[in-house]
Amino acid sequence: MNFIDIHCHILPGMDDGPSTMEESLKMLEVAEKDGISCIFATPHILDGLYSNKGSEIISSVGNLKKHLPGGLELFYGADVRVIPDLIHRMESGEIPTLNGSDYMLMELPEFIVPPHLDSLIFNLRHKGITPIITHPERHLRLMHDHKGLSGLRDMGAMCQITAMSITGGFGREIMRASFTMIERGLADMVASDAHNHDRRPPILSNAYKEVKKHFGEKIADALFFHNPGRIMEDVRRQS
């Protein structure tokens, strides 16, 4: 299918994803069998818990690339928790965008929308960076605050829904929130947000089938192919 997975915790020993290279390789095998052709390795950057830096992530991606099965491409990135000095750390190279592109994954605190988020999105867009808010359907406020989410998108942010949210892996409430966001045009792309090969695997095909069934092929292709493809185009243009 040539899926593009823009959010995947596949690097060994960097966060709450796989702890060993063996587990990372199992995840790569699952992804390839599911029809994923491009994976962005995006470990958490979360101060006080996962203090990963851009250079470390790039080095780990380089090591994992040595074991890539044929037909798979691997790129670097990060699942970046919102912090006050995010832009400064991005400009210093400490926080990476998606493989040096003009797109960055941005994770919000679980319970709140930070009061400075509007200005952060504005400043990122002013610098040519498009922030992609990860899994808003699992955020305890945004999953119900569609007006607020729409406002963030109006400012230039994009939104990424997790595949397992669509297929019910996180429960019915989150599944309903996912469907509502897609129905209201508040979702821009779907990614696996995988953390292992069995409980949270890098599988996109099941969610694609669900979206296609309920919303049609045009919307499914936009979420799984066309919009992630824009990121790939930017990556290839800047490489």
Which tokens hold the place of 15?
């966060």
Q: Which residues of the chain have pLDDT under 50?
A: none
Eight-state DSSP code of residue 69:
P
Which tokens hold the place of 39?
């994976």
Chain centroid, CA 168 distance in Å: 18
Chain centroid, CA 169 distance in Å: 17
Chain centroid, CA 178 distance in Å: 15
Q: What is the pLDDT of residue 222?
A: 98
Q: What is the pLDDT of residue 84?
A: 85
* Alpha-carbon gap, residue 224 to 36, rounded angstroms: 10
pTM more than 0.95: yes
Buried b (16+ CB within 10 A) or exposed e, 123-154: ebeeeebbbbbbbbbbbeebbeeeeebeebbe
CA angle 37, 41, 45 (to 5 degrees): 160
Q: How do the domains of the chain map onto residue ranges? A: 3-238
**80 close to 42: Cβ distance less than 8 angstroms:** no
Report the DSSP pairing between strands 189-191 and 79-81: unpaired
Which tokens hold the place of 166?
């669509």
CA diameter of the chain: 45
**100 close to 124: Cβ distance less than 8 angstroms:** no
Q: What is the pLDDT of residue 69?
A: 82
Which tokens hold the place of 18?
């796989």
Which fold is adopted by the domain 3-238?
TIM Barrel (3.20.20)
Q: What is the pLDDT of residue 1?
A: 80
Q: What is the pLDDT of residue 232?
A: 96
Helices (H), 48-204: 54-65, 86-91, 117-126, 146-154, 163-166, 172-183
* Residue 218: Cβ within 10 Å count: 10
Q: What is the pLDDT of residue 47?
A: 85
